[in-house]
């Protein structure tokens, strides 16, 4: 995803393939946003193809994210 600010500056967000959703939040009146690539959709227990992955004891999962500003 590429985000463009009011001044024209851009930030490109790239994440590992497991991160199929992007959560974006900005509190009312704030001059910033929060961006979080995630592997599950909001309310992952509410339906099929939610992206949620249940890990076995001792199992791990890794994802990566890259933010590039221009």
User: pLDDT for 13-63, tens place per residue?
Assistant: 999 999 999 999 999 999 899 999 998 888 777 777 777 888 999 999 999
How far apart CA 24 and CA 36 sit, in angstroms, is 6
What six digits make up the tokens of 59? 């199992």
Residue with tokens 């592997």: 39
- Per domain, the residue ranges of the chain are 1-43+64-68
Residue 10 reports pLDDT greater than 90: yes
* 8 A C-beta contact, residue 42 and residue 23: yes
Instruction: Tell me which DSSP letter residue 39 carries.
Output: S
Residue with tokens 């995630």: 38
């Amino acid at each position: 995803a590429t985000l463009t600010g009011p001044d024209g500056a851009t930030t490109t967000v790239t994440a590992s393939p497991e991160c199929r959703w992007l959560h974006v939040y900005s509190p009312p009146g704030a001059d910033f946003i929060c961006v979080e690539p995630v592997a599950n959709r909001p309310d992952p227990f509410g339906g099929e193809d939610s992206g949620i992955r249940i890990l076995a004891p001792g199992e791990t999962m890794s994802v990566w994210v890259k933010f590039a500003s221009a």
